[in-house]
Amino acid sequence: MGLIARLATAADIPVLPVIGVGGRAAARHLGLLDGVRVVDHARAAALLLVVGRPTRALLRPLLALHDQLPTPRATVWWKIGLGGDELMEAFADVVECRALDERLLRAVFVELVSGARYSDSPALPDIEPAAWRGVGPYGQGGTGMTGGTPYGRPLAARAPDPDGLELDQLQLEVGPAFAHLPPGLVLHLGVQGDVLRTVAVGDNPFTRWPGDPPLGPLESDVFDEAITSPTPLASLELARARHHLRWVASALRLHGLTAMGRQVAGFAEVLDIDDPTATTELARGLVRNRSLRSTMDGVGVLSAADARAAGGPVARASAVAVDARTDDDAYRRLGFEPITHAAGDAWARFGQRLGEAGQAVALAGRSRASVRSPGAAVEGPRGPVGKAGHRGVTSAWLAAVLPALLTGSEWGDAMTAVVSLDLDLEEIAGADAAVDVAP
């Protein structure tokens, strides 16, 4: 092995994670592995990491992403739950694992870079979508000079902009594995410059087909279980605090603060219920960051009606003080009062989750012996968790308001708004499936 190869084997491993069914919670830990760098796009990656079970709707985008990885490349499948084997056969060579650590990724990476392992071959045929020559009445490739489809490739059509000009409008599809967007979210966008002029939400790739294995595990499973079995309040509140802090970490990464995001994600893993002030201090430091405020202030403002219908921290960030914990005796005994913010924008949701994380750690510390009785509705980290099918209501409602919320936004603001809603498309699919099978 030459000097360059020896140096390269010690590099941080650039990994592109693609989240399948049940993979979201597991993938949260990826960014904390030493020597692993989670990248934003396929061209920057050496390893494609499929976390969880792929679905039929995810397979084609997954194969396309795989082929965008530059060689040498390899695919690792972090298998969670049942099924998916027949879909993963579409890849020529996959390293399977049931648990993931840096050593396994490093072993594959070193083999790949040193040449001991063959690079993955393409999974899809490399065929042009249309011929470049000889199409159209003059052999020019297609029809039209502005607009039309020369060479079978549609040109950007003109559309009016708010200044009264006619500007090109690019049609894009982003997702279901676009960096920083919720896994599975597909957006069809019409873009003028960096302004979103049209927005439509695509099909949910996690939708369960007959014969598919069950969905999950989900991040909110611990809250689901609390409906039917006695659960210590401390475990629920710690799970809530971790969820919110992990979300804060992902929001920081979106805003270019990767190292700060890593600090918060690491902090979430070692929460200490005996030291609630540490969480409060962390939250105070972040909400004092004026640059963060400037990035999120006034972005993605939800109407009070939408906020109320969605519930959860999103509603409370819009001054709608709905929280299932207020009706729970165990929480009342601890003197629980919901935190609220008034603005209803991305900054309010950021502050809301930070505030609720601090409150959750404090509640966990005060509630050591308290056990929540089963029966009543539970407040999950995204919203109320009640009867079957109720869990995905918050995400489903918020996904439905995305077109109205994002249209007219600049690209960066639109991404901020989407991330601030903390959607979970697997929860939506789970809710749909539960409704389907309900008698």
Partner 1 sequence: MSWSSPVAAVVVVGLVLAVGAYVVAVSDRLAGRATARTGAAIGAVLAGPARDGALLLLTRRSSSQRPDAQGWVLAPMIVVAMAAVAVAVVPLSQGVAVADMDDGIVLIAAVFALVMVGVYLHGWSANAPMPLVGGYRFVALALSYEMPLALVLIAAALPAESLSVGAVVVSQHDLWNVVRQPLGLPLFLVAGTGLAGWGPLNMADGPDLAGGTTAEVSGPARLAWEVARRSVVVAVAVVAAAIFLGGWQGPVLPGWLWMAAKTVVVIVVITGIGHRVARVRLERFVIVAWAVLIPLALVDVFVSGALAL
List of residues contacting partner 1 (CB under 8 A): 4-5, 7-8, 10-12, 14, 34, 40-41, 43-44, 46, 68, 70-72, 113, 128, 132, 170, 172, 178-180, 191, 193-194, 252-260, 262-263, 266, 289, 291-292, 294-295, 299, 410-413, 415-416
Nearer to partner 1, 192 or 395 (CB): 192
Kindly state the smallest distance separating residue 364's Cβ from partner 1, in Å. Answer: 23
**Backbone dihedral region for residue 341 (phi beyond 0: left; psi -120 to 50: alpha; all else: beta):** beta
Q: What b/e string do you get for 65-91 counting C-beta neighbours within 10 Å, with b at 16 or more? A: bbbebeebbbbbbbbbbebbeebbeeb
Contact 239, 89 (CB under 8 A): no
- CA dist 433 and 63 (Å) reads 26
Kindly state the smallest distance separating residue 303's Cβ from partner 1, in Å. Answer: 22
Nearer to partner 1, 34 or 89 (CB): 34
Kindly state the smallest distance separating residue 204's Cβ from partner 1, in Å. Answer: 21
DSSP 53: B
Nearer to partner 1, 45 or 236 (CB): 45
Kindly state the smallest distance separating residue 37's Cβ from partner 1, in Å. Answer: 9
Contact 433, 392 (CB under 8 A): no
Nearer to partner 1, 17 or 216 (CB): 17
Classify residue 361 by burial, with Cβ atoms within 10 Å: 0-12, 13-18, 19+: buried
- CA dist 223 and 218 (Å) reads 10
List the structure tokens of 73. Answer: 């490349």
List the structure tokens of 75. Answer: 């695919």
Nearer to partner 1, 132 or 304 (CB): 132
Contact 328, 320 (CB under 8 A): no
Three-point CA angle 415, 421, 422, nearest 5°: 100
- CA dist 83 and 79 (Å) reads 9
Kindly state the smallest distance separating residue 295's Cβ from partner 1, in Å. Answer: 5
Nearer to partner 1, 278 or 371 (CB): 278
Question: Rounded to the nearest 5°, which phi and psi values hold at 200?
Answer: -140, 145
Kindly state the smallest distance separating residue 124's Cβ from partner 1, in Å. Answer: 14
Contact 332, 326 (CB under 8 A): yes
- CA dist 299 and 317 (Å) reads 13
Kindly state the smallest distance separating residue 391's Cβ from partner 1, in Å. Answer: 29
Contact 269, 32 (CB under 8 A): yes
Kindly state the smallest distance separating residue 222's Cβ from partner 1, in Å. Answer: 28
Nearer to partner 1, 40 or 436 (CB): 40
Kindly state the smallest distance separating residue 285's Cβ from partner 1, in Å. Answer: 11
Nearer to partner 1, 295 or 395 (CB): 295
Contact 432, 400 (CB under 8 A): no
Nearer to partner 1, 118 or 132 (CB): 132
